[in-house]
Structure 1
């Protein structure tokens, strides 16, 4: 009789260990599935509220979609004074232009002096208090892109520059 009780207890321990292992596996699978969902399924682009206006539509229209993305560096950094409420600051911005295709690259290089003049006008009209924030830098980049596109469209009758990129930004 004692042998029978011993066998029943050992069978119960095996079932308990099996249930514990199953529960651990289920918890690990659920956690792994949740982690996968948050890491890989959450990459849908989120529309920013500030970019829903005319400026975002203006930036997206008539972009040359074909061709490899090429970058045209401006020969020198833009250094200018930016007035602010508390004090005036010195700003230095290094810029590159993103264009599509070799033809647009050549057109952008041909008109670098005009592009530099346009960028300097846009940059010098900015406020130092705005440039300290990330939103202010993004707005400045968007204004610069829109102005350069407008000037190049007037000259060449085509969209040459896809985007103005800041590769260096220092404010003192």
Structure 2
């Protein structure tokens, strides 16, 4: 009789351990699935650009419009990311500062998108000229950042006009701004 009770207790202990292991495995799988969902289920930029440019299967026609002052066709808004953040040193307030800016360019239509992508080094050079001529004391304020962005847009448009004959970039957007 004592042997039977011992066997029942051992069997109960094995079932309890097995349940704990199963619960741990299920929690790990659920956590991994949740992590995958949150990391990889965001907006797909490639698919988003396809739908914005009208390349998706369900798109009914294109929304191209004529530019008021010229004959260039303007399409939907597309964003071209500068591959690497631009890092530069500027003087200010008693010591030199390091600034790093992540940039995206707003262009209209796939033709302008391709032109901007081909001319990334030209655009980076124009941006670096503008950024390196700035002052750290000005970049501390929001007004200084807006002024820098406007100067960057003018310089990029001027460089693109010189080499391609048209305004390719509509806006220069700062998606990251760090000053140390």
Q: Same fold (TM over 0.5)?
A: yes
Give the Cα–Cα distance (whole angstroms) in 1 for the partners of residues 104 and 73 of structure 2: 19
1:101 maps onto 2:115 in alignment: no
Alignment of 1:88-167 (within 5 A): 88-167=96-175
Is the counterpart of residue 73 in structure 1 residue 81 in structure 2?
yes
> SS of the counterpart of 1:152?
helix
Describe the superposition over 1:11-32 as per-residue Cα deviations: whole angstroms up to 9, x where unpaired.
Answer: xxxxxxxxxxxxxxxxxxxxxx
Unaligned 5+ runs, structure 1: 1-60
- Computing the radius of gyration from Cα coordinates, the structure with the larger value is 1
Aligned counterparts of 1:78 and 1:65: Cα–Cα separation in 2: 31
The answer for unaligned runs of 5 or more in structure 2 is 1-68
Q: Return the TM-score normalized by structure 2.
A: 0.59
**After the TM superposition, which of the residue ranges 110-119 and 82-91 deviates more from structure 2?**
82-91
Q: Could you give the per-residue CA deviations for residues 57-80 of structure 1, whole angstroms, max 9, x where no partner exists? A: xxxx87x67211000000100111
The alpha-carbon distance between structure 1 residues 163 and 100, as it changes in their structure 2 partners (threshold 3 A), is same
Tell me which stretches of 4 or more aligned residues in structure 1 moved more than 3 Å: none
Higher relative contact order (CA 8 A, sep 6+): 1
Cα RMSD, aligned residues only: 1.8
Name the counterpart of 1:86: 94
| 1:82 shift after superposition | 1.1
TM-score, with structure 1 as normaliser:
0.62
